[in-house]
Amino acid sequence: MTTNLTAFLQSLVVGWLISNPAQLPEGPPYAASPTPLACNLSVTAQANPSTICMPGQTVNLNAIVQGGMVTQVMWTPTTGVANPNSLSTTAVVNQTTTFTVNVSGTSNMNLVTNGNFNAGFGGFTSDYIPGTGGSFGLLSSEGQYAVATNASLTHTNFANCPDHTGGGNMLVVNGAGVPNQDISCQTINVIPFTNYSFSAWVASVISTSPAQLQFSFNGAIVGGIFSPPATTCQWQQFSQIWNSGGASSVEICIVNQNTALSGNDFAIDDLFLAEVCTAVNTVTVNVVNLNAAWTAPTNLCVQSQPILLSSLLEPRLYPRRYLDHQWISYQRIRPRAMGPRRAYGYV
């Protein structure tokens, strides 16, 4: 009987945890992230048209990017390029030119486990504790956190703030009165001597005394103090580039240095860490200089045989339309039909 009762209670606990992801445990199985994959950012440069017949013509330049999120673009040479920092731009080309596009971006693989808190607080550790409840709701006491879809569900005085993207979870925090308390920490595997882009979104849920957050990587502060706007529910992004140096893992921690007991309440969402990638490609625009070189026929008379116009062109030129409108759509001239003293031209 005891064994059956134990199994029954365990099944109830498992079912409750699944339906209440905010209460998932902080430890394993949420261990350090697996070794990240190498960058797969790629770019293809295109020019339209890729061949022009006259110097000074305008061509369209396009960079097609795959495998990442673009943060920076640079076309070189910049001479004649309307906007060298745009994926799609135009260029005035005066001579045959090879254009190079350099693209920087972040991998689309987020290395932060559960960065959107849709699995509760799983994957993180904290000096704060889950909300214990009270007269104002789940987060009545300082130094506590909760995962929720709306801040107002955790405290009667918190603003009606949804998560950053809408329809998901976020971490809601009642700021502690003690400094240097870790709100959240997570250890992530990284590649040594590699640049990474980190970002997080923060919003105030009480307008009084906004949070003063510090973000640290392996104990070193990056980016200085960051405070969200006092206006509630106005999400603001913190972002920073970090180089791993010789490290193969990084512990990212968030601390609130505001210890005010009144106000100092906020929400965090969509933590993101990804490798900074680069990709390069080239495209050449050829300028073909067409000269209207031809040999004028001589000794023409009314009785002369028809002349094939292309036979008058230099061998290196391709027959095209003619400057004199009388030649348009003609491939040959008939002296008898044209009559004497008629002038002809070709381009």
Using one digit for the tens of pLDDT, what is the confidence trace for 307-331? 776 666 655 544 443 333 334 444 5
What residue segments make up the domains of the chain, in order of their start? 110-274, 291-347
Q: What is the pLDDT of residue 273?
A: 96
Residue 2: which residues within 8 A CB-CB, separation 6 or more?
A: none
Q: How many CB atoms are located within 10 Å of the residue 231 CB? A: 12
| Of the candidates 97, 123, 121, 120, the residue with the CA atom closest to the CA atom of residue 110 | 123
Q: What is the pLDDT of residue 331?
A: 53
Q: What is the pLDDT of residue 294?
A: 64
Which amino acid is located at 142 in the chain? E
Report angle CA 311, 313, 317 to the nearest 5 degrees.
125
Task: Output the six-digit token pair for 82.
Answer: 């309307």
The CB-side HSE value for 178 (13 A sphere, CA atoms) comes to 9
Distance separating alpha carbons of residues 153 and 172, to the nearest angstrom:
10
The CB-side HSE value for 260 (13 A sphere, CA atoms) comes to 13
Q: What is the pLDDT of residue 293?
A: 64
For the chain, residues with pLDDT lower than 70 are 1-38, 290-295, 302, 309-347
pTM of the model: 0.69
**Cβ 190 vs Cβ 244: under 8 Å:** yes
Q: What is the pLDDT of residue 204?
A: 98
- The CA radius of gyration of the chain, in Å to the nearest whole number, is 35
Burial level of 275, CB count in 10 A (0-12/13-18/19+)? Answer: buried
The CATH architecture assigned to 110-274 reads Sandwich (2.60)
Q: What is the pLDDT of residue 326?
A: 39
Task: Output the six-digit token pair for 278.
Answer: 């680069």
Which amino acid is located at 41 in the chain? L
| Of the candidates 267, 270, 255, 269, the residue with the CA atom closest to the CA atom of residue 172 | 267
